[in-house]
Structure 1
Amino acid sequence: MKADDFDLWMRQELHTVELALQRWVPLEAPAGLGQAMRYGVLDGGKRLRPLLVLAACEAVAGLKCAALRAAVAVELIHAYSLVHDDMPCMDNDVLRRGKPTVHVQHGEAQAMLAGDAMQALAFEVLTPDAAASASAGEPPLPDGLQARLCRLLSRAAGHAGMAGGQAIDLASVGRPLDEAALCDMHRRKTGALLQASVMMGAACGEPDDRALAGLSDYGAAIGLAFQVVDDILDCTQASETLGKTAGKDLDHNKPTYVSVLGLEPARAYADALRDEAQAALARSGLRDAARLSLLADRVVERHH
């Protein structure tokens, strides 16, 4: 696939996701809650997770309307996690996606409620009844598919995944971690939701066991690669470039791949994980995985 074709696909899909978020994240939620929710999730971010959902769905010739709901749901979970992570009781950050964090803009209590509401909304989006599907101009979403998508997302977001990884992260401030422990933390905190994005897209179709195994391995590799690159960028880029506070991991004495491995070994590790992701796609037997392949390249190219 040509880079121009891929860039066009990304722009189109990002526009579609943004419109869906605007449609499903309610402005009319009471007492300013809707404004805080929309501030936290609209008009910002790379939207990598939705793109992984949509690309994986295409790779398995899945149901696009289901994948769009999954893409919105996973972005809502990601956005809620950022809102909560930025709060004073956790990372105490003031900049996210190039603008003040939600608790700075709307207050701590409203930020907490906005994150709670976005988490709940993610599962509401995944479980439309017949009336909701009809109003969106979609065919009914089968109950079994709704359950599979909810299971994948909840496991990735909960104690065994993202929330558990954040707990390890908070408990590790000022403590040395070896590479294995760091990998475990980030496979939970960051990797689980990225891997789930791929598997939710796959769940919208009917891939065979070989394809599922390849997609799972791809998601695991790209999920960890994303975090390694984030650690590299945190110590090599300015806040204005990142859209969030640069150097905060070092300032908070948090272990990172750069602090554990060193900068150049971390760069090499990111490249190796990209190669693992590409090899997993090759093993999958999928004929149309070019967009997933290019997404892996884009994730890792950020550090070059």
Structure 2
Amino acid sequence: MILANVERRLTTFVGGEAVDVEEKSGGLFDADPALIYPRWGEFREWADGIGAKGAGDVAPSRLDAPSPRPPQVFGLVLNYRDHAAEAGLALPAFPAAFTKFPSCIVGPRTPVELAGATSDWEVELVVVMGRRATNTPAVNAWDHVAGLTIGQDLSERALQLAGPLPQFSLGKSFSAYGPIGPWLVTPDELTDPDDLAIRCSLDGETVQESRTSQLIFSVADLIAQLSTVLTLLPGDLIFTGTPAGVGWAREPQRFLTPGQQLISEIEGIGRLTTSFVASGAASAVSTA
């Protein structure tokens, strides 16, 4: 099943046609996409019953974040070996996590106002939780997943790396620095949800390319280990880490500039397109 946030209304697809969930269910489920995750089991049973499967034709300009108000957002540092190598850092023995504050989460149609001159790209597979997970063993972890989407862990490196202690969470949480989309794809739609091609291009140039099978901590491992520390909640987002190719690690370093377009793609999920504008220009662009 594919689940979309179409102009803030929960939407799925049957036979290639978009289905408004609130209307189709006779009000059993709310139109607000954020409210579906606490009822994921019940909703999934209903959606299977109407034959929800596959995608449909929806203009990207109509789409918003598939989990628009996540209770918690987790980001992973150094979860691809090649990214750890380019950063010159040792591999972690336990998932190295930070948070992107939920207010930075937006959908694919929001222009991103660059917060500074050292903003960087990081394409990531994003897990959306569908069931609470506490001390959940890896063998059962996928049972707690609603689906997968694409994310950009946009990072303003000057603040993120400012001393004496790094500011990962603040440097990665400027307004709109957490675009996700285009929609949520349930794991059963994918041949192997643990092995998906992932790539990112900037103005047509490929800057990152890998497979999610190269994750140091797999999706199941992340859920299992994070849930030993705290409870993962329905609607939570887990940004699973980025492969090599970020601008900060290049020689010379490269950063995002106004007018550029970033395209993030993951096999079986689709494409997330992010556009960038200068400081103060976002409101003008969004109302144009």
Q: TM-score, normalised by structure 1?
A: 0.29
Higher fraction of strand: 2
Structure in which a larger fraction of residues adopt helix: 1
